[in-house]
Structures are given as structure tokens and as C-alpha cells.
Structure 1
Amino acid sequence: MDAFTDILSEVSGYLSTLGASITLPFLIAIFGLILGQKVPQAIRAGLLIGVGFIGINLVIGLMGTQVGPAATGIAESLGVNLTTIDVGWPSSAAIAFGSTVGAIIIPLGLVVNIVLLATGLTRTFNIDLWNFWHTALVGALVAAVTESFWLGIAAAAVHMTVVLALADLSAPWIQKYFGFPDISFPHGTSVPYIAFAAPLNWLFDRIPGFNRLHADPTTIQKRFGVFGEAMILGFVLGILLGILGFGFDDPRGDSIAILTLAVSLAAVMVLLPRMVSLLMEGLIPISESAKTFVERRFPGRKFYIGLDAAIAVGQPAVLATSLVLVPVTVVVAVALAPLGNTVLPLVDLATIPFIVAIMVPIFRGNIVRSVIGGAIVIGIGLFIATATAGSFTQIAQSAGFELPDGATRISSLVDGANPLTGLFFGASQMGGWTIGVLAVLALGFAFAVSRVERRRDVARKAAAEAELEATQRERASEPPQPAEA
């Protein structure tokens, strides 16, 4: 068993070192062949996905490079020393895949998914293999707390079950808002926030005055014309963020930094959607093949294809919300320092689009609601990241990760601050038995969601039949047209 685990660990570590943009083309191409695609089609789809990820990472890297110094400047100007360093999702993924749980997470995740599909407890067939690392990180945290590899594996399986159920639950919002038919997002960063966004949106709808505020990109552009365009919005937000982060102590140098940041964020608003379109070009044929593959084996049942939330981060409302949340997140972190927060958001400021990717559709693209909701969940998440930082640092060092100079504790905004991470971490601290309780609750939740989905199907079918009957009655009541001479 140890030899087998060591081999899987080596393979997992190698894939982690390659990174998503190199690993995914190979995994997706192999997956495409399994799904029945021809070799040229599978290779082309895999390479397009790799190119798309490289493009997305370049644009997000540009955003992170420009935003990071401004965020640090805001924190320094407010005079707060936050000691836990946000190392970002790339480091978190490497730590997760380098853990003992990460060594077998891809086969484990696929087995869990297939079992849930076969039993009708999920509709999502998750082909987003790279992002299984989110599940691996939760499993590794539980293994570190309980000092049990097997409890870590069990926690990973339960986490995957919850993520798939949440993906099913949020799929109607995703499909309607983004226009992605039969798609869901079983993304460990994005999907847990439905638990906050749905009740918050219900609350916002009941606040007089606020419930009539329309602040979606289309409304903003109609009201402000060219100044409401995504590119102009990015430029303006860059100016404001630069002023807050750099000030004007050195007029020449600071003005250069501010303008560079402004143009860079304008570029992000233009380039990211185009990089996403490349990713989609590769994902669509794989998605269609996966749908055919599953429908052939489970005839008569409805399925969703689980994709990376990266295909949504280029949407204007998601991007605009994320840019506004950058300075808001830093200010929230500073404001919560006296209450116990020790995390300085840094690297993962550029990945806020993934945090809000599912929240924005639930808020119907309303940027004001999305920013308020995002600030609330990030504020809660900072306390989670602070609480998990010790164990996060422990598994990082066990996986061979070198801490940044001067850092003693690390975490991340993406997964260290994630509500599911907090749930599993908190439960495991009470004892290994809690993982069994979570397993029962997760299966119950998946069953409840499947019942909701079936009721939705019945309602949709009834509505379609009623519309068809109405159309037929209307046609029957029309007077016959005279025959042409």
C-alpha cells in the first residue's frame, strides 16, 4: 500500500509541478478519447483548453502583479501588520496535490462522481479534473488535524459529494444567466458561496428602495454611455485603487504607477473575456462528448456537465464586482484585525472573480448587491483562513513547500477562507467521528437536492405542455385562410 501511495504521490507531484495549463491538455485529451472522440479532435480540444488557461493565467497574473503592490500600500497606509501571508491558489494547488490525499484525489473523485451519478444523487458529471485539488486540500487538512490518512480520504469523498450537490442546486442560475445550457460549476472555490448568496438576495429583495436599485452592466452602460463600458470602468477603478495604494508622495513615480495600474485593469476587462472564449472553444466539444457518453449509459435522465468556473470570470458583472472588491477586501481585512483576523489578502486578490462567479448570477448581475455580498463572505472567510492557518502551514511544510521569507504562517483567500474548508476543519477538531456525521448529512443533502431537481423537471414539463396547448388552441381558433386563386 505504501509503495502504491508513493507512486501516486510522485505522479501527483509531477502533475502539480507542470501546472494546470500543461496538465489539463493531457488530461482532457485522454478524457476525450475515453468519451469516444477521435484522436485529432481530442488533441485539439486539449490544446485549446491549455492555451485558454495560459491566456487566463497571464491576464490574472497581470492583475495580481499590478494590484498586489497597491493592496500592500493600502494596508501599510492604514498602519496594520497582518502576519498570515496569502500565498495564493497556485501554491495552494501545489500543496494539495503534494499531500498524501492529493496523491489519489483524481481517481477517488471520479469514483465518487460515478457512484453518485449511478444512484441518481447528482446530475453533474465533473470533467474539471484539475480542480479536484480543492477537495484534496480539505482532505489534507482533516488528515493533519485527525492524524489519520483514511479520515482525510473520507473527508475528501464527503467534500466531493457536497460540491456536486451544490453544483446541481446552482445550475439553473448558471444556465440562465450565463447562457450555458446543461452546464454546472462543481468548482471548490465558487460553488460553496451559493449558501450565502441565495439568502442574501432574498433579504435584498425585501429592503424597500434597495430592491429597486438596478446596477447590472447593461443598465450602467445605458445610463453612462461609453463611461459605463467595461474597459472604461476598469480604468477608473484602477485610478481609484492606485490613489489609495500609492498616494502622491512622489508625484512623478506615483502618477506612473497609478496610470500603469489603470491601463492594466482596463486591459484585464478587455482581454479576460477573450481568453475565456478560447477556453470555451476547447471545452464545448468535450462537454458535448461527455453529455453523449453519459446519456448513452443512463438513458432518459438529465445531466449537467461540470466545468471550471473560469468560463464565467470574463463576464462584465463578475469582473466589475471583482475589481471593486479588491480595495474593499483589503479594507475589510484591516478593519477586522482588532477582532482577530491575521490574514493579509495578497496573491489571491486576483482570483476574487472565482469567489463571486456564482454569486453574481444569483444577484442577477447587480454589481452593488454582488459587492456587498462579496464583502460579507470574504470578511467571514478571513476568520476561517486565520483559524486554519496553523494546519494549512503544517501540510504545506509536509508537502515540501518553502515558506516566503519572514513568514511563519500562511493561508489563502481562495481555499483557506472557504466556508467548506471551515466546516470540515471545525468538525474534524471535535474528533474523527464528525466526518461520519458529515457523510450522512452530505448524502441527505444530495438526496434533497435531487428531489428539488425532479420537481423542477415536472414544473418545466408542465409549463412546456401548457404553452404547447395554448399555441394549439390559438391556431385552432384562427379563421381558415382563403385558398389562393
Structure 2
Amino acid sequence: LGAMVFFATGSLAWAFYAAIVLYVITLCMADFTAKGFQSYYKDMDGISIPQPFCQSFTPFAVAICWVLDRIPGFSKLDIDAEGMKKKFGPLGEPLFLGLLIGCGIGALRCDSWKAVVDSIPSILKLGVTVGAVMELIPRITALFIEGLKPICEQSRSFIEKRFSGLKGLSIGMSPALVIGHPTTLVVSILLIPVILFLSVFLPGNKFLPLASLAGMFYLFPCVLPITKGNVPKTFVIGLVALIAGLFFVTDLTPAFTKAIAVADCDGIAVPEGFEGGAALDFASALWCWSIYHLTVTLKWIGAVLAGLLAVGMCAVNFVRIRRAK
């Protein structure tokens, strides 16, 4: 964000201001969501997620969940990954779901039944690959947790011993710790073909997510504690957030491309005739898009509003922490 604001305004001061406001808001959001995050995910005591992209989807999750809970019938539609396992047995396992989803995606790329039959080996290969990913990622993230948890506990203990007023402190960690949750994997893989299809046909959208699809998993770490792992709710939230995100990215692409071109780093070169590029897992974030336009488009008025929002969130967070003590 700081780089985009700098290249859009030519001011290092504005860039620092935007970046500071973004991270103040992100840290407050991490504190607001820490309790729910720690209670929902296993072995996550004392950990929060201060990552702008993840925290940008929390407002979407809260608002959309509120609406969905008031739709007759939808509020009773409670399907989570564990429930699918209990209801369907082996057919509800991530491995089998990945096999089905992978084969389905592989079949969709064919333009006729004959092409489907001819492509059976490659379709099955994709299905097995997706199934393996859904089976192995939770195991890999479990190893991350096992290795990082002692570091987190020792860090908290060290800080609490030397700063008595910081008891109950949460340590900020990467959302990669929890992207192996079955609901995250199922919804992410379901959303990939949907968002690719929509990105082609949505009026006004000029961004086609390709490499950015690898970051799809990072949308949900702070959403699942709000939806309680409910697959339909999580899918709807992800769909709405990503549709909005496509327009955010389209809007920020010129600034993002300019930042890439001016960076002049080793291995980075903007090809001749290249009109624009961006990253879905950054430019689609609500907080990044909002603060960019507050500081670049609205100038001083927007900067004041962004600062007031950050200060207000800090005040609310301070009161909340004091009451918790």
C-alpha cells in the first residue's frame, strides 16, 4: 500500500501515513478477532492474525452472516467439514472431496463428451492431485503449528515477565498455520472455477486472476470463526468478497502496475505493451483499497477520516482490553 500511495502521490510522507494507518487498523482487527480465532482453531492459544488481506474479509463475514442468518431456511443449513464426514462417511473425507472437485474441474474444461472421454487420464490425474493437496496440507500445517507453538509460548512468557501490564498478549503469526482447515480447502477449491468464470463475464471487471489463485486459501482464516466452519455460509462470503475484490483490483491496477514498473528490482520487468497487473491477495483487500482512496483520492479530508478511524479503533480496543482485565 505504501508503495502504491508513494507512486500515486510522489510523497513519501503520504506513503508512510497510509501504511501506518493500515497496520494500526490491522492490529486492532487482529485483537478484535483473536478470541474467536483462538477458540475456533485447535492449539492456537495466544495467537492472532495481523495480516491485512485476512482481516479485510472480516467485515464482509460479519455483515453477510447477519443477512444469511435472517433468511428463512438458510440459517438452519448447517454443513461443516466434520458434519460431512459424519453424514457421508468416507465420501465426506477431504481426500474424496478433492478427488471429486478435481475431476469436476478437469471435466469442465472439455467442450464435448468426446473430449471428456479422451481426457479421462488427465482428469483423473487432476482429481488425484487435488485430493492429495486436501489430504496433505492439513498434515503439513500441523507440523508448522507443532514447531511454532513453543516459540510463541516462550515469546509470550518472556514479554509477560518483563512487562506486567501485557498479560494475555497475543502473538501475531502467519495465517498459513490454519489454511489446512478442511472447510478452507473445500470452499477455496470450489471458488476457483467460479471466480475464474465470473472474472471473464462480469461487466466492468478487467482483472483475470491466475497466479493470484494460489492465495485463495488466505481469504478464510478469520472468516471461519465467524461462520463456525459452515460451508455454505463460507462459500457465499467468499464469493461476495471476491466479486467485490475483482472490482477493487481493477480499480487499483494502474497504481499497482506503476509501482511494479518503477521498482526496477532484479528479475522484475514490465513487458512492452503490458497494460496492467495486480495481485488478488493484496489489491482486493477492503482496507487497502479504502485507505488508498482516502489518502490519494480524497487527500486531506480522506487522510483525516482514515486517521480518525484508526484512532477510534485504538480507543475501542484499549477500552476492551481494560475491561477484560
**By the TM > 0.5 criterion, same fold?**
yes
Which residue does the alignment assign to 2:185?
Answer: 319
After TM superposition, give the deviation of residue 247 of structure 1 in Å.
4.0
Which residue does the alignment assign to 1:272?
Answer: 137
Please tell me whether Structure 1 or Structure 2 has the larger radius of gyration of its CA atoms: 1
The answer to whether structure 1 residue 145 and structure 2 residue 145 are counterparts is no
Q: Deviations over 1:386-408 (max 9, x none)?
A: 00000100000111232368632
After TM superposition, give the deviation of residue 452 of structure 1 in Å.
3.1
Seen in structure 2, the aligned counterparts of structure 1 residues 356 and 404 have a Cα distance that, compared at 3 Å, is farther
Q: Contact 2:178 / 2:221 at 8 angstroms: preserved in 1? A: yes
Code of the residue aligned with 2:252 in structure 1: it is: T
- Equivalent pairs: percent with the same residue? 32
SS of residue paired to 1:358? coil
Q: CA separation in 2, counterparts of 1:446 and 1:452? A: 10
- Uncovered stretches (5+) of structure 1, i.e. residues with no partner: 1-137, 459-485
The answer to whether structure 1 residue 427 and structure 2 residue 291 are counterparts is no
Choose from 340, 345, 349 the match for 2:209. 345
SS of residue paired to 1:384? helix
Which residue does the alignment assign to 1:177?
Answer: 40
The 5 A counterparts of 1:39-188 are: 138-179=1-42, 180-188=44-52
Code of the residue aligned with 1:325 in structure 2: it is: L
Q: CA separation in 2, counterparts of 1:441 and 1:269? A: 39
SS of residue paired to 1:168? helix
Seen in structure 2, the aligned counterparts of structure 1 residues 205 and 251 have a Cα distance that, compared at 3 Å, is closer
Seen in structure 2, the aligned counterparts of structure 1 residues 397 and 240 have a Cα distance that, compared at 3 Å, is same
Which residue does the alignment assign to 1:37?
Answer: none
Q: Contact 1:360 / 1:367 at 8 angstroms: preserved in 2? A: no
Choose from 267, 284, 292 the match for 1:417. 284
Seen in structure 2, the aligned counterparts of structure 1 residues 432 and 290 have a Cα distance that, compared at 3 Å, is farther
After TM superposition, give the deviation of residue 332 of structure 1 in Å.
2.4
- The alignment's C-alpha RMSD in Å is 1.8
The answer to whether structure 1 residue 281 and structure 2 residue 149 are counterparts is no
Seen in structure 2, the aligned counterparts of structure 1 residues 404 and 310 have a Cα distance that, compared at 3 Å, is farther
Choose from 206, 226, 234 the match for 2:70. 206
Q: TM-score, normalised by structure 2?
A: 0.92
Choose from 311, 317, 323 the match for 1:449. 317
- Uncovered stretches (5+) of structure 2, i.e. residues with no partner: none
Choose from 185, 191, 212 the match for 2:55. 191
Q: Deviations over 1:281-340 (max 9, x none)?
A: 33112211220122123214321111100001001111111111111211221331x2x1
Which residue does the alignment assign to 1:96?
Answer: none
After TM superposition, give the deviation of residue 414 of structure 1 in Å.
0.2
SS of residue paired to 2:171? strand
Which residue does the alignment assign to 1:293?
Answer: 158
Q: CA separation in 2, counterparts of 1:182 and 1:295? A: 12
SS of residue paired to 2:283? coil
Which residue does the alignment assign to 2:92?
Answer: 228
Which residue does the alignment assign to 1:99?
Answer: none
Which residue does the alignment assign to 1:335?
Answer: 201
Choose from 219, 240, 249 the match for 1:385. 249
Code of the residue aligned with 1:196 in structure 2: it is: F
After TM superposition, give the deviation of residue 447 of structure 1 in Å.
1.4
